Amino acid sequence: MPPILAASDLHFLDFLHYPPIAIEQGSMTFVQGPSGCGKSTLLRLFNATATPSAGQVLFDGQDIAGLDTIQLRRDVLLVSQATYLFDDTIEGNFLRYYELREQTPPAQQQMRDCLALCCADFELSASCSTLSGGERQRVFLAIFLSFAPRVLLLDEPTSALDEATARQLMEQLKAHCVAQQITVVVVSHDRQLAQQYADATIILAKGAAE
């Protein structure tokens, strides 16, 4: 089966040069490397919120330069490190995100299922302004997971979580994504997490890949 995401000769500005990349469908791939080596930028190149200065990214065998970027971002969904929730209830946030995507929101039970999957078993009526940083991160992830993308790009998904919650989240996330055939690319500094859950690992070095 051809890789769902691939990149060749990928450069960003003058200082980031990536090795050839091939991400298998349905796999969980970790991207690791020191700060500033271009891990987060790689995810932005995958969802076309950044444009490479050279090289190409292929999604499903097609160069993303020719694809509709809005549809691409829905298929290749990036959950960034900087989370954003509206000053509203959890349900209100689901509704507002779906409204912005001009889509019908899921049923309440489906919202609860996504929250449970992300270790965020809060009432839908709970106000997001009272949640802690880690809780907000999980609610944010739950909303994005409910969009049912084909590829999920996670930028430091466990950065605001304690170790036990981080493990539980990754455990549940992996099981869900395997069952749903969702490909996952995770940027993480946590080597243990990668050893435990990665099907493949991409190691980047500063400036040029190893």
Helical residues (DSSP H) of 101-159, grouped into ranges: 108-117, 133-145
87 binds another protein (CB under 8 A): no
77 binds another protein (CB under 8 A): yes
Beta bridge partners of 201: 30
Between 69 and 196, CB nearer to another protein: 69
Tell the smallest beta-carbon distance from residue 110 to another protein (Å): 17
- Measured CA to CA, the distance from residue 166 to residue 119 in angstroms comes to 9
140 binds another protein (CB under 8 A): yes
51, 53, 62, 195: which one binds another protein (CB under 8 A): 51
206 binds another protein (CB under 8 A): no
59 binds another protein (CB under 8 A): no
- Measured CA to CA, the distance from residue 79 to residue 115 in angstroms comes to 15
CB atoms closer than 10 angstroms to residue 129: 11
101, 171, 191, 206: which one binds another protein (CB under 8 A): 101
3, 24, 50, 126: which one binds another protein (CB under 8 A): 50
27, 56, 80, 127: which one binds another protein (CB under 8 A): 80
The two structure tokens encoding residue 26:
């349905």
Q: Which stretch binds another protein (CB under 8 A): 8-16, 64-72, 105-113, 192-200?
A: 64-72
| Residue at token pair 């990149």 | 7
- Cα(first)–Cα(last) distance of the chain, in Å? 26
- Measured CA to CA, the distance from residue 121 to residue 98 in angstroms comes to 20
Helix axis angle, 163-180 relative to 133-145, nearest 10°?
0
47, 137, 158, 183: which one binds another protein (CB under 8 A): 47
12 binds another protein (CB under 8 A): no
How many chain residues bind another protein (CB under 8 A)?
23
Between 15 and 147, CB nearer to another protein: 147
46 binds another protein (CB under 8 A): no
Q: Considering just the CA atoms, what is the radius of gyration of the chain in Å?
A: 17
The residues near 118 (Cβ < 8 Å, ≥ 6 apart) are 138, 139, 141, 142, 145, 169, 172, 173
Which positions lie near another protein, rule CB under 8 A?
A: 47-51, 69-71, 73-74, 77-80, 82-84, 97, 100-101, 140, 144, 147
